[in-house]
Amino acid sequence: MSKTIELNIEGMTCAACSARIEKVLNRMDGVDATVNLPLETARIAVPDELDEQAIIDKIKKVGYGATIKSAPHEKVQDRRMLYRFFIAALLSLPLLLSMVSHIPNSPVHLTFLMNPWLQFALATPVQFIIGAPFYVGAYKSLRSGSANMDVLVALGTSAAYFYSVAEMLIHPVMPNLYFETSAILITLVLLGKVLEDRAKQQTTGAIKSLLSLQATDAVVLDNGTERTVAIDQIQPGMQIVVKPGQKIPMDGMILSGDAYLDESMLTGEPLPAHKGADDTVIGGTLNTNGNLLIEATKVGQETMLANIIRVVEQAQTEKAPIQRQADRISGIFVPIVVAIALITLGAWWLTAGSFAEAIRPAIAVLVIACPCALGLATPTSIMVGTGKGAEHGVLFKGGAQLESLQHVDAVVFDKTGTLTVGRPVVVETFGNEQALDFAAAIEKKSEHPLAHAITEERDVVFDIEQFQVDAGRGVSGMILGRNILVGSERMMRDQQFDVPDWSSAGATFVYVAVDGHVEAGYAIRDELKPTTKHVIAQIQQTKAVYLLTGDRKDVALNLATELGIPTNHVFADILPIEKADHIKALQDAGHRVAMVGDGINDAPALATADVGIALGSGTDVALEAADVTLLGHDLQQVATAIRLSEQTMKNIRQNLFFALAYNTIGIPVAFLGLLAPWLAGAAMAFSSVSVVTNALRLKRTPLTKGGTHS
Catalytic residue among 197, 327, 414, 551: 414
Question: What dihedral angle (degrees, nearest 10) is formed by the CA atoms of 339, 342, 346, 351?
Answer: 90
Question: Using CB atoms within 10 A of its CB, is residue 644 exposed (0-12), middle (13-18) or buried (19+)?
Answer: buried
State the maximum Cα–Cα separation within the chain, in Å, rounded to a whole number.
125
Pairing assessment for the beta strands 570-571 and 544-548 based on DSSP bridges: parallel
Name, in order, each residue with C-beta under 8 angstroms of 489's C-beta and a sequence gap of 6 or more: 499, 509, 511
The answer to whether residues 390 and 308 touch, using CB atoms and an 8 Å cutoff, is yes
Q: Are 32 and 45 in contact (CB under 8 A)?
A: yes
Residue 692 near residue 376, CB atoms below 8 Å:
yes
Q: How many CB atoms lie within 10 A of CB 328?
A: 11
Strands of 37-86 (E only): list them: 41-47, 65-68
In this structure, the chain runs to a length of: 710
| Three-state SS at 48 | coil
The string of DSSP letters for 144-185 reads TT---HHHHHHHHHHHHHHHHHHHHHH-SSS----HHHHHHH
**What percent of the chain is helix, strand and coil (3-state, nearest 5)?**
50, 20, 30
Q: How far apart are CA 90 and CA 87, in angstroms?
A: 5
Q: Is residue 57 annotated as part of the catalytic site, yes or no?
A: no
Dist CA 349 CA 246 (whole Å): 72
DSSP 257: -
What number of other Cβ atoms are within 10 A of residue 271's Cβ?
9
Alpha helices in 569-704 (DSSP H): 576-588, 603-608, 620-625, 636-671, 677-696
DSSP 478: E
279/128 Cα distance (integer angstroms): 64
Q: 10 Å Cβ neighbour count for 176?
A: 16
Active site residues per annotation: 414
